[in-house]
Amino acid sequence: MVKKVDEIRKKFKDEFNKISSLKELEDLRIRYLGKKGEITNLLKKIKEVAPEDRKAFGQAVNTLKVEIQNLIKEAREKLEKKEKSRKFDLTLPGKPLIAGKKHPLIKVMEELVEIAVGLGFEIVDGPEIEWEYYNFEALNIPEYHPSRDMWSTLFITDKMLLRTHTSPVQIRTMENRKPPLKVFHPGRVYRKDPFDASHAPAFFQAEGLYVDKNVSFADLKATLEMFTRELFGPQTRIRFLPSYFPFTEPSTEVLVNWGEGWLEILGAGMVHPKVFEAVGYDPEEWTGYAFGLGPDRIAMIKYGIDDIRLFYENDLRFIKEL
């Protein structure tokens, strides 16, 4: 019978040597030390042992039991340490990589730039914090002129403000260059507007300006037709509505057909002589057109969005859907 104890010891050692996880170790423990385990079974066999050998048998089983308990305890500590210190488990599934996505407004801005470049415009830049002179004065919007109300904004000092439109870049460009020129400026603008479904206190604009000899309204019309067809597709039609801007004459609002109706997406006109005078161009010699696009509006039309605030809330669920 003592031989039987040795057999169990050998069997245990074989199995024990194959253990590689805490789970396997626990299963092994139950198989040997559990209520129905090998050790308990051995002890039950004591009845079969001759009375004079029972003591020796009992001791042998007990020794084996203690041996197994110790081995399991040691192995458990080792395995626990190992599992804790393991930095990566190569068998675990990887963390999904969250790929970024372009914001719909950025996509529209990039598209506008691409179209403008295709039509021969050069991309220029300008500051968002602007002198009152560039935002208003040089654009033929004198102080106390009621049209300043159309572009109410936040002033930083008496003379400095958050620009209300991209048109000051017209002045900055012409001041620094001689005509002819054909420039396009995408950028951000600010207004003292409420944040509601159709207004945002900060939004995007893109400005186009072409100055040359004998530029006519027909040139403006052709350019805007090409522009909008690139943007919304070849079937796009546009409609001009008379409008008023102090820096263009005549001035127009441009609507595109979309679904059942017409949507306004830009303001435009022929550069006003006063604007040429402000930058030292001779209005008798030079002519030009200018236009200002609303990328937020365009993105709303293109993506079928009815609330401008969605663009600025940065809710990933919204961005991911587009």
Rounded Cα distance between 114 and 8, Å, is 81
Rounded Cα distance between 272 and 244, Å, is 11
Instruction: List the structure tokens of 40.
Output: 């308990």
Beta-carbon contacts of residue 311 (< 8 Å; ≥ 6 apart): 103, 104, 105, 200, 296, 299, 305
Could you tell me the smallest distance in angstroms from the CB atom of residue 247 to ligand PHE? 6
Give 119's DSSP letter: T
Could you tell me the smallest distance in angstroms from the CB atom of residue 245 to ligand PHE? 4
Rounded Cα distance between 135 and 157, Å, is 14
Could you tell me the smallest distance in angstroms from the CB atom of residue 308 to ligand PHE? 16
**CB-hemisphere CA count at 13 Å for 218?**
1
The residue among 57 and 136 lying less far from ligand PHE, judged by its C-beta, is 136
Rounded Cα distance between 62 and 42, Å, is 10
The residue among 179 and 269 lying less far from ligand PHE, judged by its C-beta, is 269
**Chain length of the chain:** 322
The residue among 167 and 287 lying less far from ligand PHE, judged by its C-beta, is 167
The residue among 61 and 290 lying less far from ligand PHE, judged by its C-beta, is 290
The residue among 64 and 169 lying less far from ligand PHE, judged by its C-beta, is 169
Could you tell me the smallest distance in angstroms from the CB atom of residue 211 to ligand PHE? 13
Could you tell me the smallest distance in angstroms from the CB atom of residue 244 to ligand PHE? 10
Could you tell me the smallest distance in angstroms from the CB atom of residue 200 to ligand PHE? 14
The residue among 136 and 291 lying less far from ligand PHE, judged by its C-beta, is 291
Could you tell me the smallest distance in angstroms from the CB atom of residue 167 to ligand PHE? 4
Contact between residue 180 and residue 211 where contact means Cβ atoms under 8 Å apart: yes
Instruction: For residue 204, give the H/E element and its range.
Output: strand 202-212
Rounded Cα distance between 293 and 112, Å, is 9
Instruction: List the structure tokens of 49.
Output: 């042992």
Instruction: For residue 150, give the H/E element and its range.
Output: none
The residue among 32 and 203 lying less far from ligand PHE, judged by its C-beta, is 203
Q: Which residue is nearest to ligand PHE (CB)?
A: 292
Q: Return residues touching ligand PHE (CB under 6 A).
A: 165, 167, 207, 245, 248, 267-269, 290-292
